[in-house]
Amino acid sequence: RENFIHLCNPHLEKMKEDILYHFALGTGTHDFPALFGDVKFVCVGGSPSRMKAFIAYIAEELGLESSGCDYPNICAGTDRYAMYKVGPVLSVSHGMGIPSIAIMLHELIKLLYHAKCSNVTIFRIGTSGGIGLDPGSVVITRESVDATFKPQFEQVVLGKTVIRSTNLDEQLTKELMQCSIEIGQFHTVIGNTMCTLDFYEGQGRLDGAICLYSEEEKLQYLKEAYDSGVRNIEMESSVFAAMCNLSGVKAAVVCVTLLDRLEGDQISTSHEVLVEYQKRPQKLVGYFIKKSLGKV
């Protein structure tokens, strides 16, 4: 059954042209169905270079790479986000934090709608701080929770607080876990992901420019998070889950942990090891895409 993108905005129907400003794309200047109509998988992550590396990786995995090919940035007209495409896979950077990924998602969801895409699955792949996990472990998010461990995304709209659900597709989560078992290369768990508004105080770090709590208070908070089911911390998953839910898009969050926050705050692992860690979510999602396309 065809599952098309749902837009929760009746005002868009009245617009003659929709300009996706932060992508430097628009319905009056670009043929969205021709450019993006075949997209079935979208992978989003913080850094432009990482998303370019992912598109090169998935092109090779799907046998779609060409000799000496340099994948062009579709959003080259702006320096806000980067976008790459090969076959049915779109790879987009989202920057850091809830505001940055939210802006990107508004325009990405509209892009998929204007392109008349159907049966799309969106993945956020990235890095995170683990809780009670060895560095390099991969967490597939069951649900995103806020800093009080509630599965919700809170936003102020027209001066009023709006609460939105942050549940993620349970079946997709199970399928990704099965893929990790089949790969058998790294430790993977399903757990809740805490999404915060900040990297330092918001995540209970002791090494920021401002810190007005003790190490004991920090550890107590992180242990409470662990007891509530939280296994990692990052800064984008809540609005990602909420917006995908409202748009009727199947979505998952897959992040690797760079450290165990119960053991410390600073990331001191070597660059080479971190690079290998960062490839793990790419490998897992890449394997899922290959399997979905019957290429495994």
- Sequential DSSP letters for the chain: ---B---S-GGGGG-S--EEGGGTEETTTS-HHHHHTT--EEEEES-HHHHHHHHHHHHHHTT---TT-----TTTT-SS--EEEETTEEEEE--SSHHHHHHHHHHHHHHHHHTT-BS-EEEEEEEEEESSS-TT-EEEEEEEE-TTS-SEEEEEETTEEEEEE-B--HHHHHHHHHHHHHH-SS-EEEEEEEE-S-SSGGGT-SSSS---S-HHHHHHHHHHHHHTTEEEEESSHHHHHHHHHHTT-EEEEEEEEEEETTT-SS--S-HHHHHHHHHHHHHHHHHHHHHHTT--
289 is in an annotated binding site: no
140 is in an annotated binding site: no
209, exposed or middle or buried, with CB in 10 Å at 0-12, 13-18, 19+? exposed
205 is in an annotated binding site: yes
127 is in an annotated binding site: yes
68 is in an annotated binding site: no
141 is in an annotated binding site: no
109 is in an annotated binding site: no
Indicate the annotated binding residues for substrate: 203, 205
Indicate the annotated binding residues: 80, 124-127, 203, 205
Indicate the annotated binding residues for phosphate: 80, 124-127
